[in-house]
Structure 1
């Protein structure tokens, strides 16, 4: 689950102008004009198609004073800052198909608040000169072809609230200077080639609500602390290892989504994830790790707000945890492809078929790929295809015929394999 970027995107972005900038005496500050010229001249001419936004920029007239003429009709915004002088406060050229290098522009725009160049074909490194944008609140460079490292100079943007560098070819580590971005609310670095350990941000970024660094090569342990303001943490598909540390998530009362799937985490899944210590947590994804056990919460999950739990493709052993049937809002549960054994708790079946009043029913119960055995709970037998998504394939049920939809799509394990894993399996 993500949050909208509040993007101003369109192939041709309409100009937004405040009333102040309509004053006839307003003129564009000359250094701002130079930056606009550099930006246009640095683009690959082949990417500036006739009728596109930048193609309309005509520097024979004053840019900010000609916003409503046939020239300079899109792509930037001006505001009068002092004595009738206009400064460029926004450049938004996202989804325009432009190519070029950002380093060819000096970026000396101290009044710029928004720079959005997402969904283009810009290449090369992120220039250090972006540190000149001292009033910047939103920087969007998503979905380009940027390479090199994230410059430490980006930590100079102390007013920044949103930073989007996702879906590029950025390498190296995440600079510790990001601790200086004390106003940051949203950080998206996913789908790059970033490596090294994730820096400690919990003591500095007190306003961060959304963090996505998934699909990189980040290694090391989970940070010792996260900002308590976080609503979503996505660190899936990295190389994180070690165990989950309770202190990493203590006092995170706003956290709704935690996705640490596709890493190398091991040890036990801590009980605090299920006992209400994280009172807002709704989605928990820990699949494709190396967890071997799961701790039972003292509250037996009765205070949990979890809606979806994915613990598939780990190395979990033991019996299915019956307490999850007591979690009042849980509706999707996956334990597929682990090493769990024993029988399916009747409580699971009842939660899927006839849940108690005030308890959300299980609409997804995926238990395939384990060593479960014994009789299938009677209440599951009456389920009709499409009513609930249940999977029991690749287990040790020797009476799970294809007439039941939850037995379709794969065979049960052989008796030899089942006995080899657990001799008690009948």
Structure 2
């Protein structure tokens, strides 16, 4: 480093060439970290000729940026800070393999550690908790296995945690409640089991993705009120949608598809003050609660743009109130057990919705037991004007010449009468 007011931090990135200036020599502590990092990996996993294999430390990394020696896969920066401060460590997309150990890192001021998109294997080191000022930790898309260390919960300065796309097992540590600064948590695509812990103490968490695991039990009764997006699709969640969701006044996206949720879809999700996307497909819901037309629960002020409740066990008539939600443009209710006729309001919403009302650009009603004639306004639709699907119902005269009837024939009269004997 040049002076006490400047320090040299390094990032290990996938860069084919270095095209920037670096006037200072590499701080000795940074070189030591690079040595220890290389020594922590299995030598047999470092491919000959790879970026990592070029690190022989015979020359100063920053002084040799424009030579053929020690220039592959790293960047030297000059930043104003303390002399011994290391601010960023990244092996993102470098394609390295082996196990990772932080026993000898000794990086008390490391703020960003991004080791994503590699082939690192083994367990996540408990010693990560020694990086007390860590703000961002990225371990995505590796082959880490074992349990998530409970010690991670002590990183009170951590704002972003990425553990997604690994082979992590066990339960989600309740110690995560200690991540008081956490804003983004991504643990999707692992093998996590057990119940999801209540994380109501995380007052700053706005993004949560725990999809594609084996999480069981009910949805937490208490969730961070700061949440903007929650995704827990493709798990083993049971029970109903918790009432606590209506207390999340910033919530915009909910994806709970591909679970085992049952009962009624609660009415509050349709009149939520901020919710824009609701995905509850591939569950076991049997009914939809209709919102009451009160000042506190008004569907006319709904912010919903897209609703997908397909592939459930929903019965009864198509919910008329959904045609009255002004911003709704994508509605999927296909592959349920709805019966009755297609409401005229649905058809008008596709063809001529009226001023200030978003048209149904997607209306998927196939795979039900809808009967009767197709509304006239739908018959006038041209291919490409909207995505409408009415296949596999009990509709009278729905030939393939209509684009919205294509994909599957209508059910047989025997099957339709077996399900709904009153079909004319």
TM-score when normalising by structure 2? 0.89
Report the equivalent of 2:34: 36
Stretch deviating more after TM superposition (415-424 or 123-132): 415-424
Name the CA distance, whole Å, in 2 between partners of 1:404 and 1:296. Answer: 32
Stretch deviating more after TM superposition (96-105 or 238-247): 96-105
Which of 228, 231, 235 matches 2:228?
231
Report the equivalent of 1:286: 280
Q: CA 1:297 to 1:333, structure 2 compared with 1: closer, same or farther past 3 Å? A: same
Q: For 1:195, what is the secondary structure of its paired residue?
A: coil
Contact 2:24/2:78 (CA < 8 Å) preserved in 1? no
Name the CA distance, whole Å, in 2 between partners of 1:228 and 1:290. Answer: 27
Report the equivalent of 2:4: none
How big is the shift at 1:28?
2.9
How big is the shift at 1:152?
0.2
Give ranges in structure 1 of 5+ residues lacking alignment.
1-7
Deviation string, structure 1 residues 107-133 (Cα, Å, up to 9, x no partner): 321111111111100001001011111
Matches within 5 A, 1:200-349: 200-202=198-200, 204-247=201-244, 249-275=245-271, 278-299=272-293, 301-349=299-347
Q: CA 1:15 to 1:251, structure 2 compared with 1: closer, same or farther past 3 Å? A: farther
Contact 2:12/2:75 (CA < 8 Å) preserved in 1? no
Runs (4+) of structure 1 exceeding 6 A deviation are: 13-17, 21-24
Stretch deviating more after TM superposition (71-80 or 151-160): 71-80
Name the CA distance, whole Å, in 2 between partners of 1:206 and 1:39. Answer: 35
How big is the shift at 1:297?
1.0
Stretch deviating more after TM superposition (53-62 or 133-142): 53-62
Q: CA 1:81 to 1:57, structure 2 compared with 1: closer, same or farther past 3 Å? A: farther
Report the equivalent of 1:133: 131
Q: CA 1:78 to 1:184, structure 2 compared with 1: closer, same or farther past 3 Å? A: farther
Q: For 2:407, what is the secondary structure of its paired residue?
A: coil
Name the CA distance, whole Å, in 2 between partners of 1:80 and 1:60. Answer: 27
Report the equivalent of 1:357: 355
Name the CA distance, whole Å, in 1 between partners of 2:77 and 2:44. Answer: 25
Name the CA distance, whole Å, in 2 between partners of 1:384 and 1:107. Answer: 64
Report the equivalent of 1:116: 114
Name the CA distance, whole Å, in 1 between partners of 2:19 and 2:114. Answer: 14
How big is the shift at 1:281?
1.1
How big is the shift at 1:46?
5.7
Give ranges in structure 2 of 5+ residues lacking alignment.
1-10
Name the CA distance, whole Å, in 2 between partners of 1:153 and 1:394. Answer: 53
How big is the shift at 1:93?
1.1
Q: For 2:121, what is the secondary structure of its paired residue?
A: strand
Name the CA distance, whole Å, in 2 between partners of 1:69 and 1:399. Answer: 74
Q: CA 1:286 to 1:62, structure 2 compared with 1: closer, same or farther past 3 Å? A: same
Contact 1:365/1:391 (CA < 8 Å) preserved in 2? yes
Q: For 1:163, what is the secondary structure of its paired residue?
A: strand
Name the CA distance, whole Å, in 1 between partners of 2:229 and 2:37. Answer: 35
Q: CA 1:27 to 1:333, structure 2 compared with 1: closer, same or farther past 3 Å? A: closer
Stretch deviating more after TM superposition (181-190 or 41-50): 41-50
Report the equivalent of 2:5: none
Contact 1:274/1:301 (CA < 8 Å) preserved in 2? yes
Q: For 1:352, what is the secondary structure of its paired residue?
A: helix
Deviation string, structure 1 residues 329-377 (Cα, Å, up to 9, x no partner): 1111001111110010000000000011011100111001111111110
Which of 70, 87, 94 matches 1:89?
87
Contact 1:315/1:339 (CA < 8 Å) preserved in 2? yes
Report the equivalent of 1:192: 190
Contact 1:77/1:90 (CA < 8 Å) preserved in 2? no
Report the equivalent of 2:158: 160
Name the CA distance, whole Å, in 2 between partners of 1:117 and 1:388. Answer: 44
Report the equivalent of 2:411: 413
Aligned pairs, how many? 407
How big is the shift at 1:413?
1.1
